Amino acid sequence: MISVAEARERIVAELRPTPGEVVHLAAAWGRVTAAPITARLTQPPRDVSAMDGYAVRSGDAVAHAVLNVVGSAPAGHPWAGRIGAGESLRIFTGSVMPEGADGVLLQEDATVTGNQVTVGEAVGPGQFVRRAGQDFRAGDVLITAGKRLNARDIGLAAAANHPWLTLHRRPRVAILATGDEIALPGEPIPPGGIVSSNAHALGALVHAAGGEPVVLPVVPDDRATIGVAAEAATGMDLLVTTGGASVGDHDLVQQALVERGLKVDFWKIAMRPGKPLIHGRLGSVPLIGLPGNPVSAMVCGILFLLPAIQRLTGLPGLPPPVATAVLDTPLPANDGRADHLRARLTTRADGTLVVTPYERQDSAMLRLLSEADALVLRDPYAPALPAGALVTMIRLDTIGL
Amino acid sequence: MISVAEARERIVAELRPTPGEVVHLAAAWGRVTAAPITARLTQPPRDVSAMDGYAVRSGDAVAHAVLNVVGSAPAGHPWAGRIGAGESLRIFTGSVMPEGADGVLLQEDATVTGNQVTVGEAVGPGQFVRRAGQDFRAGDVLITAGKRLNARDIGLAAAANHPWLTLHRRPRVAILATGDEIALPGEPIPPGGIVSSNAHALGALVHAAGGEPVVLPVVPDDRATIGVAAEAATGMDLLVTTGGASVGDHDLVQQALVERGLKVDFWKIAMRPGKPLIHGRLGSVPLIGLPGNPVSAMVCGILFLLPAIQRLTGLPGLPPPVATAVLDTPLPANDGRADHLRARLTTRADGTLVVTPYERQDSAMLRLLSEADALVLRDPYAPALPAGALVTMIRLDTIGL
């Protein structure tokens, strides 16, 4: 059995980001750049006013000076003339500074009388002027390749005059749930069977991570059928199976896929929940075989599938972010398997984040998993901890998972 | 001028969540429930095995006992008979427990000889059995109304047999950018003009918050044209304008919309960047008029538009979450306007989060805004702070904005 960290590294090391595609700016939020975004223009394009007021020659605009207003230049309507001695130009935020002027008299510091303004407060050179290129210059790299675009980045790319961006294609992730006992929601349930929850929970995880889930039809525990179904994943960026990764008589996924040419980099991971996990490659398609148990599948999804998909989208594929909290109840020493305790978070009046692992950690408890705010991480052979100890956790409530 | 908190409360108080619509489970991630999700079945439906092994009568399964194996029950294939004295049934994780049996002998504790197993470790009553309803029972409320669904919730809703969910409709948010000087990316730029970044940055924010942006054509600074354009927002859940919210000669949005019946709950907010902001209602459509300056527009978007859209999606519309960090450089005392300093975050070797406000806080610097990790919050009249002080901030890097 290998460690959680080694398993993740082996999965991520084998994956390459998807190639770039052209995406219009309005669809780019949350996607990852496949090429740097450079400025196509200089911003501001010329010296502009930072305020509403009057463009002046700073030498003229001493306190109590009276200046002629020779015109007006709304933003988008530059004034073609030149400001001479004793002159000023009505100007607004974003208006191009006219030739000759080098400062802006704020409108609240100006007294207007007919076509003249009286200066209330002297204007220094460059005052309230935004210099051409103050924000960026044509050719500047504004956003590097491999960045997930947030709303501010979208604004910056727009300002840099990009209607189209080159972004990594959303990875297509095929999800194949297996088992005689499972049915899709709303469909007839076989005797003793249950409703399949893994495919759509993992589909949501794929979506959250920036991929495109392709949920394949559920297949029964039949070797030939599983093999045929898996071939539907040809051309996908990743194939995820659930169920059949363990060693029981009816765990057929591995056998079925090996017959179809699966190259297994198989392992069991020293972890709980979710020891059995297949990693390999079916033809050119990387494969992650998750346990069939829904809690194990989701925990393994968070630990392994999330970084894998992030890597495919062009990000580094790092482990889920961790945080710390104060333990509310004592914890016993751990055995040799890394544990991931479902837990609730509360905040004390003084702001301290407190974490309470559920007493029941049964891996079939989907409801508790859904209610949990965090997974408390327990290393193999971690010593017992008293209440009040600091523990490390993955906050599920902040990552949409 | 009113405070940021009061402005937000007034905006949110006026909004009602959108009505529910039927959405298929595969499209429900990140959406908000408009009705509770109750269990349509009991999970597990009957007592099932928690492990691979042999179903036994615990009274019989003492150490070294030899039991006959009378059959096999894979998951999804319940065994119809009853386990009598000295009998056992081959069973797997998730298999229905047969009548008569009350515990499971682990396969690793069993020695198989032909049709018999020898018990290695005695089996107690209920051992490795998951009781019917241990996860949930038919009729249980599993997910309340008003919850944003994460991937685990999708799994739980699936397991509870819901192919369809009733979710708040995504609010449609019309975005109207105004200004003679702006052009859409890739289109001809007027002399002295700039590329419009607000519409698409705010569109991305709407998307991130769970809404559907409807970007209206850019309108010039013309009263009649603005009025006609705003009528395109009829039937929308919210109208957002940018530009024209200030008091300059060319700030026409308010005038234009008042002519069309805008009921103004107008204010200036004691904040920086972004003092001018219109709040009102045009017919039945709530309106938020943001400043035209791109940094101000985005900061006001985060502070006001994000909670507004969240409220429309069915969430409470709380302020953006805050965190604390250690200040890297001293800060001067603040004036009467709440400030929102763009800042970078770094983590020291000991894990301490350190925040460094940019020296230049010019509200035209889109590039710095894009690079920022956080907005450091400075209350009105906040005292000067030395390096090393704790400050409160909105982490932009974790909310996709």
Nearest CA in chain A to B201: A155
Q: Mean pLDDT lowest for which of A225-229, A361-365, B115-119? A: A361-365
Say how far apart CA A123 and CA A115 lie, in whole Å.
19
Say how far apart CA B237 and CA A134 lie, in whole Å.
37
* Residue-wise pLDDT tens digits, B310-323: 999 999 999 999 99
Q: Under an 8 A CB cutoff, do A74 and B250 touch?
A: yes
Average pLDDT, chain A: 93
Say how far apart CA B158 and CA B317 lie, in whole Å.
28
Say how far apart CA B399 and CA B331 lie, in whole Å.
26
- Residue A378 burial (CB count, 10 A): 24
Give the per-residue pLDDT at B250: 45
Of A45, A78, A185, the CB nearest to B161: A185
B205 chain-A contacts, CB cut-off 8 A:
151
B186 chain-A contacts, CB cut-off 8 A:
161-164
B91 within 8 A of B49, measured Cβ to Cβ: yes
CATH superfamily for domain A48-130: Molybdopterin biosynthesis moea protein, domain 3. (2.170.190.11)
Of A94, A196, A367, the CB nearest to B136: A367
Nearest CA in chain A to B96: A192
Would you say residue A352 has pLDDT above 60? yes
Query: With bands split at pLDDT 50, 70 and 90, how would you rate the model's confidence at B190?
Result: confident
What residues contact residue A275 under an 8 Å CB cut-off, 6+ apart? A1, A246, A268, A269, A291, A337
Of A150, A248, A372, the CB nearest to B52: A248
- Tell me which residues of chain B, numbers 239 to 278, contact chain A at a CB-CB cutoff of 8 Å: 246-250
Of B78, B184, B400, the CB nearest to A191: B78
Q: Under an 8 A CB cutoff, do B161 and A46 touch?
A: no
A292 within 8 A of A221, measured Cβ to Cβ: no
CATH topology of domain B4-17+170-313: Molybdenum Cofactor Biosythetic Enzyme; Chain A (3.40.980)
B169 within 8 A of B33, measured Cβ to Cβ: no
Alpha-carbon radius of gyration of chain A: 31
Query: With bands split at pLDDT 50, 70 and 90, how would you rate the model's confidence at B42?
Result: very high
DSSP A40: S
User: Could you tell me how many CB contacts below 8 A there are between chain A and chain B?
Assistant: 314
Say how far apart CA A112 and CA B249 lie, in whole Å.
14
Give the per-residue pLDDT at B249: 43
Q: Under an 8 A CB cutoff, do A156 and B370 touch?
A: yes
A160 chain-B contacts, CB cut-off 8 A:
195
Query: With bands split at pLDDT 50, 70 and 90, how would you rate the model's confidence at A379?
Result: very high
Q: Under an 8 A CB cutoff, do A200 and B43 touch?
A: no
| A251 min Cα distance to partner chain B (Å) | 10
Say how far apart CA A167 and CA A151 lie, in whole Å.
15
CATH topology of domain A21-40+137-167: Molybdopterin biosynthesis moea protein, domain 2 (3.90.105)
What is the mean predicted confidence (pLDDT) over A333-351?
Answer: 94
Provide the residue ranges of all domains of chain B, joining segments of one domain with +: 4-17+170-313, 21-40+137-168, 48-130, 322-398
What is the mean predicted confidence (pLDDT) over B73-98?
Answer: 92
Q: For residue B358, give the amino acid letter.
A: Y
Q: Under an 8 A CB cutoff, do A163 and B143 touch?
A: no
Say how far apart CA B220 and CA B182 lie, in whole Å.
8
Say how far apart CA A209 and CA A190 lie, in whole Å.
33
CATH superfamily for domain A322-398: MoeA, C-terminal, domain IV (2.40.340.10)
Q: Mean pLDDT lowest for which of A124-138, B174-188, B258-272? A: B258-272
What is the reported pTM? 0.93
A40 within 8 A of A138, measured Cβ to Cβ: yes
What is the mean predicted confidence (pLDDT) over A292-300?
Answer: 92
Q: B366: part of which helix (H) or strand (E)?
A: helix B366-371
Of A158, A213, A370, the CB nearest to B156: A370
Q: Give the torsion through C-alpha atoms of B71, B75, B80, B86, to 10 deg.
A: 40
A372 touches B at CB < 8 Å: yes
Q: Tokens representing B249?
A: 């000669």
Would you say residue A343 has pLDDT above 50? yes
Q: Under an 8 A CB cutoff, do B215 and A156 touch?
A: no
Give the per-residue pLDDT at B251: 64
What is the mean predicted confidence (pLDDT) over A92-103?
Answer: 93
Would you say residue B254 has pLDDT above 80? yes
Would you say residue A245 has pLDDT above 80? no
Model ipTM over 0.95: no
Give the per-residue pLDDT at A27: 97
- Tell me which residues of chain A, numbers 61 to 100, contact chain B at a CB-CB cutoff of 8 Å: 72, 74-78, 90, 92-96
Say yes or no: domain B21-40+137-168 is CATH 3.90.105.10: yes
A303 touches B at CB < 8 Å: no
pLDDT top residue among A275 and B17: B17
What is the mean predicted confidence (pLDDT) over A386-390?
Answer: 97
A213 touches B at CB < 8 Å: yes
Q: Under an 8 A CB cutoff, do A186 and B161 touch?
A: yes
Q: Under an 8 A CB cutoff, do A246 and B52 touch?
A: yes
Beta bridge partner(s), residue B213: B173
What is the mean predicted confidence (pLDDT) over B196-219?
Answer: 96
What is the mean predicted confidence (pLDDT) over A103-131?
Answer: 95
Q: Mean pLDDT lowest for which of A235-239, B66-70, B267-271, B288-292? A: B267-271
% of chain A residues with pLDDT over 70: 98
| B15 min Cα distance to partner chain A (Å) | 23
Q: Which residue has the tokens 């298999």?
A: B95
* Residue-wise pLDDT tens digits, B364-385: 889 999 999 999 999 999 999 9
- Residue B380 burial (CB count, 10 A): 16
Would you say residue A250 has pLDDT above 60? no
| A319 min Cα distance to partner chain B (Å) | 15
Q: Which residue has the tokens 């604004």?
A: A155
Mutate to test the interface with B, among A47, A91, A152, A371 (most CBs of B within 10 A): A152
Would you say residue A246 has pLDDT above 80? no
Would you say residue A74 has pLDDT above 50? yes
Give the per-residue pLDDT at B346: 96
